[in-house]
A and B are shown apart, each in its own frame.
Chain A
Amino acid sequence: MRRGLIYGLKKFWSEVFSGDLLILFFSIVLAVTSISSVGFLGDRLQSSMQMQASTMLGADLVLRSTSQIDPEFLAKAKASNLNYAETTTFLSMVITEDDNLLTSIKAVTESYPLRGKLKVVNANGIQIQHSGAPPSGKIWIEKKISESLGLNQLDTLSIGNKNLIVEGIIEDYPDRNSSFVGFYPTAIANIADVEEMGVIQTGSRVVYRKLFSGTKNNLNSFEDSLKELPSDIRLQKAIDVSSDLGEDIANSTIFFNLASLFTIIISVIAAMMAVRRYANRNLLHTSLMKVFGASKPFIFGHQIMQLTLIVISASIFGLILGYSLQHLLLSTLQGIIIIDLPSPSLRPVIIGFTTAAFVVFATTAPYIKILSETEPIRILRNDFAIRLSSNFIIYLVAFFTMFGFLGVLFQDIKLIFYIVMALILVTFTLYLIGKLLIYVLSLIKFSNGTGWNLGLKNIVQRGNDSILQIIIFGLSLLFLVVLAETRTDLVDSWGETLEEDTPNYFLFNIQEYNLNTISDYLEDEAGIIPDFTPLIRGRLLSASRPESDVNFDNLMDREANLTWRYDIPQSNTLVDGTWWTNPDKVAEVSVDQEIAASMNLEVGDELNFSAGGKTFSVTVSSFREIEWQSFSPNFFFILSPAAGRELPNSYITSIKIEDSEKLMNKFITRFPTISAVNLEAIIDQAKKSISSASLAVQYIFLLTLIAGILALIASIYSNRDQRTKETAIIHAIGASRAMIFKSAASEFFILGMLSAITAIIFSTLLSSIIFYQFLDLIYSPNLIILGLSFLLAIGFIFFAGVISVRKSVYASPMITLRDS
């Protein structure tokens, strides 16, 4: 055994470069590259998505209430080792000598924000260094306040009883989109000054927030300790916030996993074919060695050493490639990933090596056995055939080992289960098709000796080899096509979320009397006819269910922005109930399904609102699913015209304008009472995310594609030796080159076409399962992709097949015969 190991070590490179081990080597490299680059990207994407969501909250976890929050939570957070900050937000007049402005005041502790960045600059545009809260007695204001009140740095303003000095201008702060702040300009003050202001009285609209951040485990243990929250406290988690935005990313994570899973499967297929050829060729070598005195342990050691070296070298190679690819992907995904890279861990290295070892030994173990048990007498009998019957068991063993391993690796039993089912089904179908083909062809009497006929005859003569080739072609194609479809649909669906005419400005506070002027102005200046949506500021007071005494305790008095309209908005989908029964007669409301679920509402429940000084009640007529990425005004509650028309309202609109900055500056001067919110930054961010995610998806797909091509080549070459010999013989006995080419062409054409048809048909099945079960997308077969895949597959198999016989056709038959 020791000698065998040494011998294997000595012979390794020459054997790798001689070609038999090369395909095995490359398939392992691909599997390792894929798993080490892609497998970890998903994790990283997810955690960075969460980071980003945390930024939107300013924390990982927030407790929010409209009344003071019990300090006991702080003790619990301390016990869980969490960081902590506090904000108190309320509306108040900011007063200067000659003007005032209703402002959202955000009073914060020094530790604010826990996640994300606060950006405050002084008059010269230089960033103010200390983060968190301004010192007591100072205040930071948004530009809008300084503009409308004519405030400069170091000017004094007052809020309630407190005079404050303007220290800086807020350029950005994290939890911008939480609550009513969107409508009012924001000022940030120190929480210690709130009491002195004296503006918070009973009945004031105040939101208290406790912000927490920490490690996942600590957050979880904190959350566990919170089990019974008082009904007035709401818990917000970064994950919840991210769920909308994160869906695309979640899908791309699934895609990456899928791609890496498929790459591994296809690599295993390629490895199997390569190993088969390697074993076939090595049978002579091993029997010779046996004749020359090599023992079973020697051969065993020789094989183990070579395979171990393959595992090691291919892993290293694959890890280097995987690491580079991961960097490429990460730099591509920079728009999405905002966290610093964690220091490189050993995990990918370990998983890479394990994957390589597993693929190599799962595919070779049976052959190692066959080779080390070779009878030396084969040499005297010139018998170097590996029996197919033992091959079947080999593949079965490899198959189950493979999925056991993949199940552990991907920890997604459901996905693996579907893939195994698809594999079994498709393999079986392809097997039957192969059998049928051979049966049908064997019935035909080929009398005239054309090349085409010769090829068909060869299919029959190769028997199980032909069937195996159909199966391998078919399986490789199946996974490639499914991935191609997934990739295309995913990228398309992302593209759709941000069409060119996505609005880039929200306009608020538009009064009825202004509508026409604004409409005209926008049409003249930018050629836009805005679509105004009524906005009713209201409160949801209570809910009740007719003829039952369901308790809606969980529903607290909360602000609610309402609108009314006749038709359902384009970006909304009705998921339950009906749109208005009679819009002009019946007072109804349509509710966002998630809000409805959180309040335990059912269609038919009564909701009581107050707005414009009066209270009214409406019946829940439907639930809607809202597509938030549409960037158009969306409402949790939409009233029927009968309920909403008479209520006092302002209007909002979202518009898409080119060259926005110039126009909006003019617009704001012209209509100073109107608030305009610029969405461009958010849209840009989203666009960047999407295009970089799409690009990343392309890279990953490319990897799978290479694996697929490798598998096809491995399969075509798996019986090339035999083919070459036959070619030489029939060439020697007078067949023309054209005839030999035609023979190979017809053979590969038939095999390629049957496997491609089967793969295409089954790919629609597997795709629809993946779309519905894992991506939450609607699947409709993409005929262009399917058609193109079909043609490319046949073309590739055909040409690669014909090229594979080229060498033996052009070589003198004598040389080929002599070789063997």
Chain B
Amino acid sequence: MDCFDEFTDKESVSRILKNKAKEILKNLILELKNITKEVNSPEGLLTIVKDINLTVEQGKPISLVGPSGSGKTTLLAIMAGLDLPTLGTVNLLGSEITTLDEDKRAQIRGQDVGFVFQSFHLMPRLTALDNVMLPLEILGDPHSMDKAQEALEQVGLSNREKHFAAQLSGGEKQRVAIARSIVNKPKILFADEPTGNLDKKSSDSISDLLFSLNEIIQTTLVLVTHDLFLAGKCKEVYELSEGQIL
């Protein structure tokens, strides 16, 4: 019997631990542990980011700020699995992406991650609608058209479906890019200086849009910016300087 008790006891403990872990994972959608990135450059080995620890909880947008060249983009790329750190681990949405190969990481990105870039990166020869459909087409989603139209509506551009990139203003381009980033209903949305190429007015409306997305599609924003005002809208602000969090 002893033996049985002990067994049940162990069982229940591990169950509790598992549930706890699940709960944590449910809230913790991104966790960086001891991230360091070094690159070879003409001037020798260069440390771009150094020993970064950071967590993102679901529904709590964070921002990375810092001067140009401080390593923000590098860190973002590592968080999103676009690049691998030299040292450290990244847990993104319950997967330790630092141990996965590029194609597995791509799969995670395709399903649950969204991206917005400073220079929009719309495909110049596709219409706004086709641009938004792109991520779903990669997933092979049969309803990509409907979902893309819905996403364009969410960013307020349903009347621009047939426009090409060159026929849109900067703010409109970025709206299309945002529609594209949320069309797969991502759990986490990375934005690298999304307003960096925009004037004040467009910039404001884009940032409003980004922060409203949390409510519309329940996505968590990870925002990289050197705009302190914008950063201030986030629950948590990490400041980066020469590759380290201050």
State the A residues within 8 Å of B (CB): 3, 6-7, 10, 14, 18, 284-285, 288-298, 375-377, 379-382, 815, 818-819
* 8 Å CB contact of B106 from A14, A293, A379, A380: A293
**Supplied contacts A292-B134, A293-B139, 6 more A-B pairs, CB within 8 Å:** A6-B140, A291-B82, A292-B184, A297-B103, A375-B83, A818-B170
Residues of A within 8 Å of B236, CB to CB, are none
B184 CB, nearest partner CB in chain A, Å: 8
Q: Number of contacts between A and B (CB, 8 Å)?
A: 79
A291 CB, nearest partner CB in chain B, Å: 6
In contact, A296 and B102 (Cβ under 8 angstroms): yes
Choose, from B16-24, B51-59, B113-121, the stretch at the interface.
Answer: B113-121
For A819, give the chain B residue with the smallest CB separation: B166
In contact, A284 and B121 (Cβ under 8 angstroms): yes
In contact, A376 and B76 (Cβ under 8 angstroms): no
Answer yes or no: B137 CB below 8 A from chain A CBs: yes
Most buried by A among B77, B108, B138: B138
Contact string against A for B residues 150-177, beta-carbon threshold 8 Å, 1 for contact and 0 otherwise: 0000000000000001100010000000
* 28 chain-A/chain-B pairs, Cβ below 8 angstroms: A6-B140, A14-B126, A18-B125, A284-B123, A285-B123, A290-B106, A291-B109, A291-B115, A292-B115, A292-B134, A292-B138, A293-B106, A293-B113, A293-B135, A293-B139, A293-B184, A295-B103, A295-B106, A298-B106, A298-B138, A376-B82, A376-B106, A377-B82, A377-B83, A380-B76, A380-B77, A380-B117, A380-B192
Residues of B within 8 Å of A290, CB to CB, are 106
Give the size category of B's interface with A.
Answer: 20 to 34
- Contact residues of B: prevailing secondary structure: helix
Answer yes or no: B232 CB below 8 A from chain A CBs: no
In contact, A293 and B107 (Cβ under 8 angstroms): yes
- Contact residues of A: prevailing secondary structure: helix
Most buried by B among A6, A292, A298, A381: A292
Residues of B within 8 Å of A293, CB to CB, are 106-111, 113, 135, 138-139, 184
In contact, B119 and A382 (Cβ under 8 angstroms): yes
Complex: A293 Cα to B82 Cα, angstroms: 10
Answer yes or no: B207 CB below 8 A from chain A CBs: no
Residues of B within 8 Å of A377, CB to CB, are 77, 82-83
In contact, A819 and B124 (Cβ under 8 angstroms): yes
Complex: A288 Cα to B119 Cα, angstroms: 12
Residues of A within 8 Å of B184, CB to CB, are 292-293
B180 CB, nearest partner CB in chain A, Å: 8
A728 CB, nearest partner CB in chain B, Å: 12
In contact, A380 and B135 (Cβ under 8 angstroms): no
Residues of B within 8 Å of A288, CB to CB, are 121, 123, 134
In contact, A292 and B140 (Cβ under 8 angstroms): no
Complex: A380 Cα to B73 Cα, angstroms: 7
In contact, B123 and A380 (Cβ under 8 angstroms): no
Complex: A284 Cα to B125 Cα, angstroms: 12
For A302, give the chain B residue with the smallest CB separation: B138
For B138, give the chain A residue with the smallest CB separation: A294
Complex: A292 Cα to B76 Cα, angstroms: 15
For A290, give the chain B residue with the smallest CB separation: B106
B228 CB, nearest partner CB in chain A, Å: 22
Complex: A815 Cα to B103 Cα, angstroms: 37
Residues of B within 8 Å of A291, CB to CB, are 82, 109, 115
Complex: A382 Cα to B125 Cα, angstroms: 18
B107 CB, nearest partner CB in chain A, Å: 6
Residues of A within 8 Å of B139, CB to CB, are 3, 293
Complex: A381 Cα to B166 Cα, angstroms: 21
Per CB-CB distance, the 8 closest pairs between chain A and chain B, nearest first, are A293-B110, A295-B103, A292-B135, A18-B125, A293-B109, A3-B140, A377-B82, A294-B138
Contact flag A379-B166 (CB < 8 Å), given A7-B137, A284-B123, A289-B138: no
B185 CB, nearest partner CB in chain A, Å: 13
Complex: A295 Cα to B102 Cα, angstroms: 7
Residues of A within 8 Å of B192, CB to CB, are 380
Contact flag A10-B137 (CB < 8 Å), given A380-B73, A380-B192: yes
Residues of B within 8 Å of A298, CB to CB, are 106, 138
Contact flag A292-B110 (CB < 8 Å), given A6-B140, A7-B137, A297-B103: yes
B201 CB, nearest partner CB in chain A, Å: 17
* 8 Å CB contact of B134 from A289, A296, A819: A289
Most buried by A among B73, B82, B102, B113: B82
Complex: A289 Cα to B82 Cα, angstroms: 12
B115 CB, nearest partner CB in chain A, Å: 6
A468 CB, nearest partner CB in chain B, Å: 25
B159 CB, nearest partner CB in chain A, Å: 20
